[in-house]
Amino acid sequence: MLSKEVFDAEEFKVSLRAYISFVSRKIKKNPNYNIHPIVRALSHAMENLQNSGKPGTYYGLSGDAKDNPEGVYTQLFFCVLAAHKDKMISIVEFYDLIESRPVPIKVLSYILVLAMKFDKFEGNQINIDHAIKAINSVIPILNCIKFNNNEWKEARDHFESVVEEYKVNAPVEHDEFKITANEFLKIPSNTPMEEYPLAISSTIEHNWVYHEYRELFKDNCINIVFSSRTNEYSKVDCLNHVLSVLYGAPSLYFTSQSEWKYFSDLRLNEVSYKRPSIKRNDPCPCNSSKKYKKCCGR
């Protein structure tokens, strides 16, 4: 029986091969084809390793600033490889510098599949329905539900009634909702949807969908209400949004659903398997400078 991290790593290996084979065909047709920064970071690290040819640790960094008109990074990944003496190469970690978090192995596979699925639609934008369909089919722990913009007025009015009720029956400890409610009350009721702050509008939408379409919510899933002012959504923003839910700050709310494994887990595991047995007269591994037999091995 494979451990979860080994299984995830095997899955990533196959997904990466599929992605590379996909990209090679794309590049044959269009030499300027844009490869996902994750794979670029990995390939930079591999190039560094090949140039050196020695065992050691190698890094690769890649982002999307070049592809953005403002030259800002919306995606920036860092990959660390270890080249061993026996010529084996292992991934030490993938790091998302925008989210400031390591990327879980399983999510790396999701990203590659989604990148290929999104690529089926030309341009930088993707239709929101297509995006939701792709995300839901690839990531089983996510359940994206689209908010219908035509229901904004009803959603807003419903939220107002919730806030009114909250004023009467609010539990004292609900500070977060209190902040949102107070913010909401400051906004005139005739303000168009587009002018609402994102945090408030998404709360209104989520609340409405949960109230009106509860059957769309799934158990043991992270349910996200997706909304877009237009029918088209930036592919990169969409993917970043998903990543943020999966392992960024919001993911802290859903740890029970995800239980991610990282390359660092795999490596620790590997090391623990390979750890040589300690002889009685060896120095103790706890750095006490005593012999093992007189310290931890007693």
Partner 1 sequence: MYFFDIKKLENITTEYFNLIEDYFGAFYTPGLNKYLEAQKFKMLETAIQAILVSIEDLEEDLQEFWQKNSTEVISIIENTDIFKVLYSGDMSPLDGINFIKKTALYLDTLLIEDPISRLLDTKIVFTDKEYLFELTKHIFNLLDMKKLFFGEGSIPLLVIFPPLINKEIAVQIRHEVKNSSANYFSSLLQRDFKDYADVWDYLKSIKSSEQLINDIKDTRLLFLNEDNILERLNKLQIRTKKTTKLDTTSLTMGEILGLEIYGRFSAIGTQVFQSQYLSSQIVFDYKELWDLYKWDINQTVQVTPNVDNTMLHALQTQEFRWLENIDIDKFYLLRNEDEIKMVREALRRNIYHTLNGVSENHVKKQASINLDDILNEHSRKLEGLSKDLKKKFSIDTLAFIGGVISSVPAHLGIVPVIGAVSTIYGAVDIFTSTTKLVKEKKRINKSLMGVLIDAKQRSI
Six token digits for residue 176: 């977060």
Q: Does 35 bind partner 1 (CB under 8 A)?
A: no
* Residue 25 in contact with partner 1, rule: CB under 8 A: yes
Q: Check binding of 20 to partner 1 (CB under 8 A).
A: yes
Burial of 73-94, coded b for 16+ CB within 10 Å and e otherwise, reads: bbbbbbbbbbbeeeeeeebbbb
- The verdict on 76 binding partner 1 (CB under 8 A) reads no
Judge residue 249's burial from the number of C-beta atoms within 10 Å of its C-beta, 0-12 exposed, 13-18 middle, 19 or more buried: exposed
Residue 185, token pair as written in the block: 């009350």
Q: Which of 11, 67, 212, 232 binds partner 1 (CB under 8 A)?
A: 11
Binding status of residue 89 toward partner 1 by CB under 8 A? no
Instruction: Give yes or no for residue 137 binding partner 1 (CB under 8 A).
Output: yes
Is residue 94 at the binding interface for partner 1, with CB under 8 A as the rule?
Answer: no
CB of 20 to partner 1, least distance (A): 6
**Residue 46 is a binding residue for partner 1 (CB under 8 A):** no
The residue from 3, 17, 231, 286 that contacts partner 1 (CB under 8 A) is 17
How far apart are CB 117 and partner 1 at their closest, in Å?
5
Would you give the DSSP letter of residue 282?
A: S
CB 59 within 8 A of CB 93: no
- Answer for which of 22, 121, 213, 254 binds partner 1 (CB under 8 A) is 22
Binding mask 97-136 for partner 1 (x = CB under 8 A): ---------x--xx-xx--xx--x----------------
Alpha helices in the chain (DSSP H): 4-29, 37-52, 105-119, 128-138, 152-169, 175-186, 198-212, 235-247, 255-258, 263-274
Q: Should residue 138 be labelled a site residue for partner 1 when binding is judged by CB under 8 A?
A: yes
- Size of interface with partner 1, in residues (CB under 8 A): 24
Q: How many other C-beta atoms are found inside a 10 Å radius of the C-beta of residue 204?
A: 25
Q: How far apart are CA 23 and CA 26, in angstroms?
A: 5
Q: How far apart are the C-alpha atoms of 73 and 79, rounded to whole Å?
A: 16
Given the rule CB under 8 A, which residues bind partner 1? 7, 10-11, 14-15, 17-22, 24-25, 106, 109-110, 112-113, 116-117, 120, 137-138, 140
